[in-house]
Structure formats: C-alpha cells, structure tokens
Structure 1
C-alpha cells in the first residue's frame, strides 16, 4: 500500500497548496464567505456538484447499491433534483438579495428573533453535514491503510479544516474543481469499469444478482418518498448549498451550470450504485456493509490506481465536509455572533477564527458518531422538520407571522428529535410528523397573530 499512500499524500498536499492560493484571493469578508460573488459557469458547476456529492453520497450510495441494487441511486437522485429546482426557480431572486445566509431571508420577512431561532437549527444541520463526510474519510482511511479510526479522522479531517480556515470560499472553490475532476475520473471512469470487468461484464452481473437488484423501486416507495422529503427539500433550504448559489456571477450562470450539476449528481448516483452491486458479487459476505466502498477498492484495484481512486473518494468527502464547515462558521459569524456583540459585524480575521473553532468541533463530533447515512439523515431531518414550513411561508404566504414561524421551528425541530429517538434515525416518522406539526402550528399561530404590517412576501 506504500504507493497508494504516497498518491493520497500528494493529493492532500495539493489541497493544502490550493488552500494557500485561496487565502491569497480571500482579501475581504465577501471574498471569504462567497468568493466575491464572481464565479463563472465552470467554477460554479464544479463547486456545486462537489458540494452535494460527499461522503454519504459516495460511501452511502455504494452501501445502498450493495444492499438494494440499482435503486440505491435514489439518494443522489433526490439531491440532484433538488439542485436543479434550486437553481432554476430560486437562484434568481436569491442573488438579488446580496445576503450570506438562509436565515437572513427569515429576518427580512419576519424579524431578527426568527433569524436567531432558525440560525440554531441551521447550525446543527451544517455541523452534521461536516461530520458525515469526516466520518466517511475516517472509514476509508481506516479500512484501506489499517489506521486507527481516530487517527484517520484527525488526519483526513485536519486537512479539510486547514484549507477551509485559511482561504474560506475561495479555497473551497479551487479545491472543489480539482476534487470534481478527480472523483469523476476515479469513480466513474476507473473504479466502475474495473469492477464490472472483475465481475465478468454486465451479463455476468445480471446473472449473479437477483432480478430485484435491477429494479429502480426495490428500495421501497416509502424510502424513495422519504429521500425526496428529506434531501430534495433539504437542498432547497440548506446553508451549504445556498452559500454556493451566492457565489454565482449572475442568474444565468446559476441556472445553466447549476442544472448541469444536478444531472451530474443523478449519473454519479447510478455509478456508485453499480459499484455497490459489483461489490455484492465479489464480496458477498461482507461483515459491515458500511465498508462496502473501501472493501471493493481494496480488492479490485492494483497499487497506484487504488491510490488514485482513494483520492477520488476523499475528494468527494472533503468537498462536502468543507462546505458544511464553512456553512456552520458563516451562520455563527453572520447570524449568532453579532447578537452577542451588540450588532457589530464580523471581520475577515474573525471569520477565520470561527472556521477553525467550528472545524475542531466537527472533528470532535466525528469521533463519537459512526454511521454516515444516519448522521446525514439526522442533519436533514432537523433542517427540513424545523425550517421548511416557515421558510416556504416567508416566501409564499402573506399572512405568515413571526410568532407562527418561531413556534413552527421549535415544535418541528423538537418533534424530529423525539421521533428519531423513539423510532430510530432510519424511520420515516421523524420527517412526516415534524412537517405535520410544523405546518399545523405555523398556520394556527399565524392566523391567531396580528396581521404583519407592510411586510409582504417580497423577501424572495
């Protein structure tokens, strides 16, 4: 594995070098948080796709393909369709606002209290997004190189924390482009063809797997619907994704390049599901299905090539980890910290400090959580259950009120937590009940509240 380790170390060093170049470009507060709002089509498409397709999308979809067959692609499909909808229908009004966070929309529509309440939910979501990909990084390094899990987390996650801290969004953009190219080549053009070759070709794959593995609904309609409820809507309101939208030079860049990124996500999901199916044929008795990706890489690829594919996997994971990290830091410095500092806005140095502190927090959480899909589900359940209803109400319902939004956020958030604790992270009940409770409380409290004066739903 020495050659593979050398390739991975070269990749990690390259990410740090790109982080340094990002630091040199991040000269202002706006540069650091949204890359100066000046990305063209290529940079925007690459960074948008890289942000969405991370550890859970890669390791998790391979695991779903191993267990359920081709229908495992629905996780990535829900994410990709969310990206398409966001860029086609919401990017134009969002770009006009010149804001930094999702919660600023709620302040424009309601009041500062709604912004603070929603910021707490968004912070929890962004932290867990970072944790899911750090977990995936740790899993891959642990299985492939035999490192202790905590060492894998600190080494792989440490690289992410460093380049994210020094250059902010410019570092993320530069590293995302390289990561996008590496993971496309490594996973779709190297690992997938080699896995199919090892199996004996497509015909052998069909012959050795049950027919249900090739059904696009084998995973179950309830699971498919839940993926859309959680991930499709989660993409529409997630800080990590909106922050990428804010980097676009104009609405045309967002609409066309963002749509392309969404279709890429769907194709990526199909590729990862097929890799998982091949892994099921080649390693039918895998002890831990969470390790399906690392195990198939270790078994199927020769030295050197294996290192490139490991780098491709790390690229997918690091891009999402850094997005979650910067999103959490941005919510802290733009939404929560000014409240404690008497309204004083953050500076470039303060942004860097809180990105570093947020990174340390993410690494700490990753050391005590052990399932990437469950961690991702936790993040999206809290986000969608707590914020989807008030945010849609802010945009489309003139009668929506601040008390209604705050009560809906609080009850939706708590309901999601209660049902995740009661029924488990993989259950459908947390998202359904949290949305139902959030909707009823939002409408009821808004109708009972005094009609807002002079604030129409023009915020977005």
Structure 2
C-alpha cells in the first residue's frame, strides 16, 4: 500500500476513536467539581493513565529523543532525573494537599493563607504559562502531522487545535478517557520504534560501541560537532557542563513538583492511597518509556550520524521513523507521537481555563455565577486560549526541551515555596507567601530578560530568593502576632 494512503488510514482511525472517547466526558460532567477534577472519583488505573499521559508530552517524546540524538546521555541528567526527583516531592505532598478541599492548586493559597489575591495571582500566572507551554504540544503535533500526511505545518497545527479543543470541552472526564487511549498508543509506539532501532544496529552493545566513535554534527545548523565519546559522556564532553546540567533541576524538577497539572491529578484521585500509588506506578511506567527514547535517540544517531534534512532536535524522531527505519508500523509510531502532544495539551488547556474562570473571575469578580453559565464560560475560555496558542505556534521556539524547562521554572520560582512551606512549616504566614511568590516571579523574569549567566538556570537564584523572602517575612509576621 502507498505510504501516504497508509498514513492517512491510520490517522483517520485514530481521529474517530479519539472523538468517540472524548464525547464520553460530556455526559458525566454536571458541575464544576466534575469539570475540573472528575468529581474526585478517578480510580487507580485511569489515574495512572492520565498522570502518565499528561507528563509524557511532546517535550518528552520529541524533545528528549532529539536531545539524546544530539547530546547523548547528558539528557538523562538534564531532564529525566530532575523529573523523577520532582515526582518524589509529589509523593510527599500528595496526602497533605488532599487534606484541603480544593479544585485548583491556587485555591490552596486561599484556604491556607486566606488571601483571595494570592489565589488570583496564581490563576493568572497559570493562564500565561500554560498558554506558552501549549505551544510545545502544538509544534510537536505540527511537525509529526506534516511528516505523516505530507501537509503544510500551518494546516497541521490547525488539526491539533480542533482535536484539543474538542477533547477539553468535556472536562477532566473527557481528558482522562482520551489519556487512556493516548498513553496506550505512546507505549506501543515507543516499544515498536525501540525494537526496530535495535534490530537495525544489531543490539545494545554494538549500538554503544558505534556511538562512542561518532564525531559529526547531528544536523547542519547544530552549534557543536560531537566529539568521540561525547554521546556516552554524562556532560557531553563539555558541551553541557555540570553547572548547566544540574541547575536544570530548579526548572524541570522543582517546577514539576509544584506544577498545577500534577496537583490536579492528585486531587482528582478518589483516595490518598490511589494518589500515592498513581505517582509511583506512573514513574515506573515512565522509566521504561524513557529507556525506549534513549535507545531511539542513540540508535538513531548510529544509523544516521548527521541528518541533513532537519534544522532542530524536535524533528529527529519523526524523521527517523519516516525515513531511516520506515516500515508498515511507522504510521502507528508517528500517531503515538501525536498522542503525546494531544494528551498534554488538553490537560493544560483545562487547567489554564480554571486559572482564569475559577481562581480569578469567580474568586474576585463574580462569586455568585450560576453553574451552567460558569461551565460555558470555561469552554469559551478554552477556545480563546487554544486560539492564542495556535497563533503563537506559527513561530515556535527552537527547542521544546529547553523552552519547557524555562516555563516550568516559573512554578519553582513562585509556587514552590508558598506551597511546600505552607504545608510543612507551621510558622508560614500570608505575608510571607505573597512576598515569596512575588519575589520569585520577579526574579526569574529579570534573570531571563537580562540573561545574567547562561550557565545557570534562571530558576535557581529565583528559588533561593523566594525561599529566603518567605523565611524572613513569615518569621517577622509570625513573631509579631505571637508576642
């Protein structure tokens, strides 16, 4: 069968199944709690599916694979390890966070600190950062669909826009159902791609032997030529120095630990036990998926030491599947890459909507809004945010992995200390939380704009500034009240 016809057939089947799964959430969604957190009713299996699928975005599927292809094993230290360290903090956080009756993470700030404005500021930041982060998913989908259907990038991103808007309109019930489909496709796609790669390179041992001798540029406009042994070196033979690598923890790791999309999954689980198991089981599943991506990245570089036809790391995975190891299974693998983008984008759209409608609009402007009108307002806002992200994705960032780490850094700089400090430190105060949030946010904006030291992730000094501010201000006001 002709390649293009086969790809179109797979894509059509995926579209029909996705739309079928997505419509189920509309019937179950009757109120705000259903819409945002699925009525706090999700069992273990669906919780693992939706947590893993939300985690495994285009930044993982394409960003990690392309970075491993270009930098080698350094990517494990730069992004994967920090993510898993962030997951450990989520396990510690989960039972404490669930003791608060909240629908959104910023609502915790109101219940803990009695500050509507801190909740509102958190909501507005969620709107801005998730709008920027959804660009990653739109770009990832656009690259793959352009390869899959041989269509223009602009038309391809319009397709993901339609898919994501539709699957988000039904709230978390719809998102969770489609996540179940998407994570299964992701697992199958990565497993198949890794097997095909290993078969071509004659096994893991030979793959590493050959990788050690590569000394080419991964693609023409990449800034570095890979030195021999660089793919296997933890710091890519100096291309990714230790300070660059380890300070990424403050962006990816601590950002994940304070990210609203994972807090939402914790809240939506039906019990503390389910929430903790969800994180643990998901991390095990994700570890296997990342092992597959590492094999694809290293093995792909062995098979194609330089890819002349691409310009960014995010194009590596689709190119390998469609050109280097093409088989009748390639269409399914490419569909799995699109599944990673959709499964994260719809979740982030839902959380972005909650940031505006629940944490800002209902909280500050119209507390008495009726339920049906409120749900419709969420759907209107989902449409608007999706449209803004679509427009911004026309000129997307060059590296999904690096860009994503900067976006997540905003959460470690602003949310992290008021969240964990408020839960685990008895002397925390409203004044300390507001000051820490503000100082951390202002700090990371300044460090990104001024670019003081490109070797240090801007989230690191911002987290320190936030933590110091939180301690000093909270202690002052606590002592003042308790004299």
Q: TM-score, normalised by structure 2?
A: 0.87
Q: Quick check: 1:70–1:270 contact (8 Å CA) kept in 2?
A: no
1:297 and 2:321 aligned: yes
1:225 alignment partner in structure 2:
246
Secondary structure (helix, strand or coil) at the match of 1:364 reads helix
User: Could you say if the C-alpha distance between residues 216 and 427 of structure 1 is closer, same or farther in structure 2, counting changes exceeding 3 Å?
Assistant: closer
User: 2:339 is matched with which residue: 302, 311, 315?
Assistant: 315
CA positional deviation for 1:93: 2.3
Q: Quick check: 2:250–2:409 contact (8 Å CA) kept in 1?
A: no
1:49 and 2:52 aligned: yes
1:204 alignment partner in structure 2:
206
Mapped to 1, the partners of 2:457 and 2:74 lie a distance apart of 21
Q: Quick check: 1:199–1:282 contact (8 Å CA) kept in 2?
A: yes
CA positional deviation for 1:197: 1.4
Mapped to 1, the partners of 2:200 and 2:29 lie a distance apart of 46
4+ residue runs over 4 A deviation: 215-220, 424-427, 450-454
1:428 and 2:456 aligned: yes
2:122 alignment partner in structure 1:
118
1:37 alignment partner in structure 2:
40
1:153 alignment partner in structure 2:
157
Mapped to 1, the partners of 2:366 and 2:378 lie a distance apart of 17
Cα RMSD (Å)? 2.3
1:254 and 2:247 aligned: no
CA positional deviation for 1:305: 1.3
Secondary structure (helix, strand or coil) at the match of 2:351 reads helix
Q: TM-score, normalised by structure 1?
A: 0.91
Deviations 1:197-253 (A, max 9, x none): 122332331221114433455455334423322222222211111111111111111
2:439 alignment partner in structure 1:
411
User: Could you say if the C-alpha distance between residues 428 and 6 of structure 1 is closer, same or farther in structure 2, counting changes exceeding 3 Å?
Assistant: farther
1:214 and 2:242 aligned: no
Q: Quick check: 1:4–1:303 contact (8 Å CA) kept in 2?
A: no
Deviations 1:370-395 (A, max 9, x none): 33123312311211112212222212
Deviations 1:124-150 (A, max 9, x none): 232233222122111222344432222
Q: How many residues align?
A: 451
Q: Quick check: 1:128–1:378 contact (8 Å CA) kept in 2?
A: no
Unaligned runs of 5+ in 1: 455-460
2:215 alignment partner in structure 1:
none
User: Could you say if the C-alpha distance between residues 317 and 394 of structure 1 is closer, same or farther in structure 2, counting changes exceeding 3 Å?
Assistant: same
Secondary structure (helix, strand or coil) at the match of 1:213 reads coil
1:234 alignment partner in structure 2:
255
User: Could you say if the C-alpha distance between residues 84 and 180 of structure 1 is closer, same or farther in structure 2, counting changes exceeding 3 Å?
Assistant: farther
User: Could you say if the C-alpha distance between residues 322 and 77 of structure 1 is closer, same or farther in structure 2, counting changes exceeding 3 Å?
Assistant: farther
Mapped to 2, the partners of 1:276 and 1:424 lie a distance apart of 32
1:101 and 2:104 aligned: yes
2:71 alignment partner in structure 1:
68
2:285 alignment partner in structure 1:
264
1:27 alignment partner in structure 2:
30
Q: Quick check: 1:38–1:249 contact (8 Å CA) kept in 2?
A: yes
